[in-house]
Amino acid sequence: MTIDRRELADRAAGLPRQPGVYLWKDAHGRVLYVGKAKDVRARVRQYLNGHDTRFMVRFLVEAAADIECVVVRSEKEALILENTLIKKHRPRYNAKLVDDSSFLHVRIDPRERWPAYSLVRSIEDDGARYLGPYHSASRARATLAFLERRFALRTCSDAELRSRTRPCLLHQMGRCLAPCVGLCSKEEYAAEVEQSLLFLEGRDKELLRRLEARMHEHARHERFEQAARDRDLIRAVRASIERQSVSDRRLGERDIWAVYRDTEHGDGEQGVVLLLPVRRGLMQEALPLPFQEPLPPVSEDEDGEAEGALLSTFLNRWYSEGSDIPGELLLSTTPSDKQALEEVLSERRGAPVHIHVPVRGDKRRLVDIALRNARHAMTRDGGVNRSLQALEDLQAVCRLPRLPRRIECFDNSNIQGSDAVAAMVVFIDGRPAPAEYRRYRVKTVVGADDYATMREILHRRFTRALDAGTRDDRRGWGRPDLLVVDGGRGQVNAARAVLADLGIHDVPLIGLSKPRTERRRGERDATDKIVIPGVKEPVRLRHNRPALNLLQALRDESHRTAIGYHRKVRRQRNLGSVLDSLPGVGPARRKALLAHFGSVRALRSATARQIAEVDGIGPVLAERIASALANREE
């Protein structure tokens, strides 16, 4: 299905002039972009008549085949619906926070019988407590280490907790209450969890008051070891408080947001959104959030409007994933739908949220601090879009007809031909797109034949691409702008043969091989070689060239994905072979055991009583399984 720009303009002219959400779609019905507007028709026509000059708009309009809209009653409803649809469809052209997955949070679920802390990168709507985010991974891990040293909570996995029969070394060191063997009550453990949460939430006075009361209580009853532990914890908490940079206590709880556009190194197409949190009067670490899709290079009159629309979308998405929402937000520019945004955030918080754009006084000085931090974060990286620079460099080096916005890389993994698998890794606009990854079990190749494996996997992948051209394809099997194989001339020729057999001649292909020969000759600084069909000698770039760094990151990611999938397949086969020999265990029970214990080691260390807890396995069968595993181990 193809559609020209005139037909898109006709469809845009038929859109309503009301608040709503509009969706740009491609020929296969995939959502390319989701946006909101007070006047849907006027906003969509800006894309088509060239008034929206963002870098991505040209590609969006070229790829679009249809425009749909959902009319709502107010800007508030449009704000909520836009966020819902972006999370549902994950459109390619919507502005994304660069490295938004890198922000670590400390997670704990107080509803569990024996809660434990962990570090996670994504927030789920599962009822657990998430504290953070931590822009610095080292700071997040240092916080977790402090919790593990100072609060006697378990650090073992759920499987280890179930299988333990005696306390571990951490209990002997006084760093765990040993709930695994019943050495503490549920109430004692819950009190320890509550105190650790007081520390993480910054409620230091209340925590110190409780610890001092408990220390004196232990001392009165001559429990001197417990009193000494509380004394050490009090000292550690006070030292931690003193290390924090203290600000004005009147600042209370608020988040400061600033948008900075880089006009010094270009035309303002690059930018950073920066969050500066203030909690209990203490200014926290600044979180710079570069965004992939640039702001439009507009005139000064339109500048604030463009930044306000971007900031509104970011705030709506940032505070939708269970983040702590303070009662006041200070912004560097007015969001496009300030009143609607206040209503939405107030409902999510369960209390009023006020948005201000201060122009003078102490609050304006805080916004200026945020702007200076955003400017520093931008200039620290040279003021350039490194992903775009790497793609342009790669296009020039490999003589590609177009910018390689979608790059696919394939890698194989096996051990002497057993459990052979392969992986396809996808980079979009120079960054990993895990949702597009594919993993393959090799079906037709016997033994360790990398060339035959590559031929089979590429044939399967591009056969799907050809099928997608004749039907409605919603799984992203379109053709890449560049195909990369991990290997030298032999792998490249195998891939070329597959593409030629399928009649595909418009997919650029290269290989990336390690300089083994050069290093055997003593060239220790030799870099990876880029093998280009039709070019006799491989291309060798300096180690700091953006194109080479991008290809190496792509190759390393494909290697990691293939190795990880191979380990998973081998582990499942090993576990399956053990479970297949157990008496009375069929496919359903085997699956239940695998889901419950996760590994052969955990299952072997489990008691018959623990095995009997699995659905579908009674005490008699559990005894037979435990006995069979013990005999097998002997």
Residue 207: its pLDDT value, please?
81
- Pairing outcome for strands 509-513 and 529-531: antiparallel
216: Cβ contacts below 8 Å, ≥ 6 apart:
227
What is the percentage of the chain residues whose pLDDT exceeds 70?
80
Query: Above 50 in pLDDT, residue 473?
Result: no
DSSP letter (8 states) at residue 531: E
Mean pLDDT in residue range 417-431: 82
Query: Above 90 in pLDDT, residue 189?
Result: yes
- pTM confidence score: 0.46
Q: Where is pLDDT greater, at 623 or 1?
A: 623
Q: Is 10 helix (H, G, I), strand (E, B) or coil?
A: helix
| Contact predicate 435/415, CB 8 Å | no
Furthest CA-CA distance within the chain: 87
Query: Above 60 in pLDDT, residue 542?
Result: yes
Mean pLDDT in residue range 450-466: 85
Q: Is 275 helix (H, G, I), strand (E, B) or coil?
A: strand
Token representation of residue 177: 């209450």
Query: Above 90 in pLDDT, residue 70?
Result: no
Listed residue (257, 243, 251) closest to 281, CA to CA = 251
- All domains in the chain, ordered by first residue: 5-89 (3.40.1440.10), 101-243 (no CATH), 249-384 (3.30.420), 390-410+424-456+472-562 (3.30.420.340), 581-633 (1.10.150.20)
Mean pLDDT in residue range 243-250: 46
Categorize the per-residue pLDDT at 484 as very low, low, confident or very high, splitting at 50, 70 and 90: very high
Residue 356: its pLDDT value, please?
92
- What's 103-169 look like in SS3? CEEEEECCCCCCCCCEEECCCCCCCCEEEEEECCHHHHHHHHHHHHHHCCCCCCCHHHHHHCCCCCH
How far is 199 from 63, CA to CA, in rounded Å?
51
Residue 632: its pLDDT value, please?
57
